[in-house]
Amino acid sequence: MSEDDSGSGPREHAALWDEVTGWLRDHWDPDLTVDAWWKEVAGAGWTAPHLAPDQGGRGLPRRAQVVVRAAFAKHGALLPPGGLGLLMAAPTILTQGTPDQIERFVPPILEGQVNWCQLFSEPGAGSDLAGLTTRATRDGDRWIINGQKVWSSMAMTSDHGMLLARTDFDVPKHKGISWFALRLDQPGVTIRPLREMTGEAVFNEVFFDDAVVDDADLIGGAGNGWLVTQTTLHFERTGIGAGGAHAGFPEPGPKGGMLGRRAGDAARDVPPNQKLTLSFEDVVDLAKRTGRAADPHVRQDLARLYAFAETGRWNALRGRAEAARGGGQNVGSIGKLCQTRVVKLAARLGTSILGGEGMLAGADGRDDGVFAEAMVFSPASGIYGGTDEIQRNIVAERSLGLPREPAPDRDRPYGEVLRSRPSSLDGGSAG
Ligand SMILES: Cc1cc2nc3c(=O)[nH]c(=O)nc-3n(C[C@H](O)[C@H](O)[C@H](O)COP(=O)(O)OP(=O)(O)OC[C@H]3O[C@@H](n4cnc5c(N)ncnc54)[C@H](O)[C@@H]3O)c2cc1C
């Protein structure tokens, strides 16, 4: 698997663009079902071109995914499936799973047959993720899950969840966690949507009431969940840093309602510019179209935006080089910090260029409300995938060698740690 984004140069970019466009000329058939089209796209390695060929990819740098999807959009073809399965579950299972788990879970993700959500955060465990209290109790060859998650994006339309649960309360908090691939369609799982300031309800609360997961779906072994989680978070942050998240990709899985549709119709209904985060190029394009590209204030902010975007790209290049030498673990945090700045500044600059119209959403707004939507979504970029403060802590401690934050409970058995919500220990439910 290719680590991180290479930020490949214009020549590689043009060659890849030509290759994808040539492939689309031969293969894009709007009369196929979405199901059949996504299988063909996955078979050619275009869904996740950054994966190794024997993993279903093409062994290209991570940014290739952005180039490939842009070429699909330009051609008018339905984009490959997106979602958190592709961003996080597949690379985590490829890295930490057994051959059987890889075979069962990864191909359906690449072919868009299933959707995944991330069941990490809890009401009492966000930044302090290792403080989670959702409990998994072994029962023969299965585990019984009780507790609650929150901020679970797209859980309503997901089939599987990347579930973190505590399997051992008698060891220090980082050591008693396990990572499960949990089936969501079962009686013990209740999903309730939460309305956001964007007007959408992407977030959910998820409650587990004697939910069941097979031991065969425990990834990385019991008690090794923190290590597996680091893998997931690494892919989340490097993926976000490469601009791959929240970009309006078509939703996979049966609940997304796409699989049985005609691919040409689905392509028309998923406009390529439907995305929540904007890039430097999006804003330059807007500035040119609105005649504001010569305005010195706009140019100054564009330069700032370019600097953040380029810093992120160079950071990714450096990360790739370091990864090739066996290091470079913290580039994900730096890349994510750069991307937060790009997302926030792009939204602010875009709406200020549009003036009053920048406040209009939907079909009434200029650019169909894309900039207004990006503006209300942009504060989220400094929170999801770990807040900016936490990314800075990681860089400070692991890259700059500054003293670690005090953590007096780090080595105590988790069951002895004082918490504000002890009921989950006794009653088995964090809700
Ligand atoms: C759009 C979006 C999508 C999300 N999707 C998912 C998802 O699919 N699955 C999932 O599991 N979670 C998801 N989350 C949740 C996200 O991971 C958490 O919100 C995040 O980790 C912060 O946790 P918290 O909200 O509990 O805030 P807290 O941890 O309570 O933090 C509150 C504030 O205190 C600061 N803070 C906390 N600890 C420290 C520290 N040690 N040093 C300095 N400052 C600190 C934080 O930076 C923050 O500003 C999503 C969040 C957003 C915004």
Measured between alpha carbons, how far is 62 from 29 in angstroms, rounded to an integer? 27
Tell me: the pLDDT tens digits for 363-392?
555 666 788 888 888 999 899 888 999 999
Which atom in ligand 1 lies closest to the alpha carbon of residue 387?
47
Residue whose CB lies within 8 A of the most ligand 1 atoms, among 195, 376, 387, 390, for a mutation test: 387
What are the residues facing 206 on neighbouring strands? Answer: 149, 191
Tell me: the pLDDT tens digits for 110-140?
999 999 999 999 999 999 999 999 999 999 9
Q: Per-block average pLDDT, block size 10, for the chain (431 residues)?
A: 46 88 98 98 95 93 84 93 94 97 98 97 94 97 98 95 97 96 98 87 93 98 96 84 58 91 89 66 91 95 95 83 72 87 93 84 63 88 91 91 88 82 38 28
Are 180 and 213 contacting, i.e. CB atoms less than 8 angstroms apart? yes
389: Cβ below 6 Å to ligand 1?
yes
Tell me: the pLDDT tens digits for 331-371?
788 888 998 999 999 999 999 998 887 777 655 556 667 88
414: Cβ below 6 Å to ligand 1?
no
Catalytic residue ranges: 236
Torsion of CA 56, 62, 64, 66, to 10 degrees: 110
**Angle at the Cα of 88 from the Cα atoms of 242 and 205, rounded to 5 degrees:** 115
Which protein residue has the closest C-alpha to ligand 1 atom 44?
Answer: 389
Here the tokens at position 3 are 């680590």
281: Cβ below 6 Å to ligand 1?
no
Query: What backbone torsions phi and psi does residue 25 show, to the nearest 5 degrees?
Result: -60, -40
Measured between alpha carbons, how far is 221 from 180 in angstroms, rounded to an integer? 9
126: Cβ below 6 Å to ligand 1?
yes
Residue whose CB lies within 8 A of the most ligand 1 atoms, among 117, 121, 132, 344, for a mutation test: 121
Measured between alpha carbons, how far is 358 from 378 in angstroms, rounded to an integer? 14
Strands 116-119 and 160-166 turn out to be parallel
Give residue for tokens 């939703």.
251
Q: What is the pLDDT of residue 13?
A: 82
User: How far separated are the first and last CA of the chain, in Å rounded?
Assistant: 38
- The sign of the torsion formed by the CA atoms of 30, 35, 41, 47 equals positive
Which protein residue has the closest C-alpha to ligand 1 atom 3?
Answer: 384
Residue whose CB lies within 8 A of the most ligand 1 atoms, among 122, 151, 333, 392, for a mutation test: 151
Which protein residue has the closest C-alpha to ligand 1 atom 41?
Answer: 390
Which protein residue has the closest C-alpha to ligand 1 atom 17?
Answer: 384
Task: Note if the pTM is more than 0.75.
Answer: yes
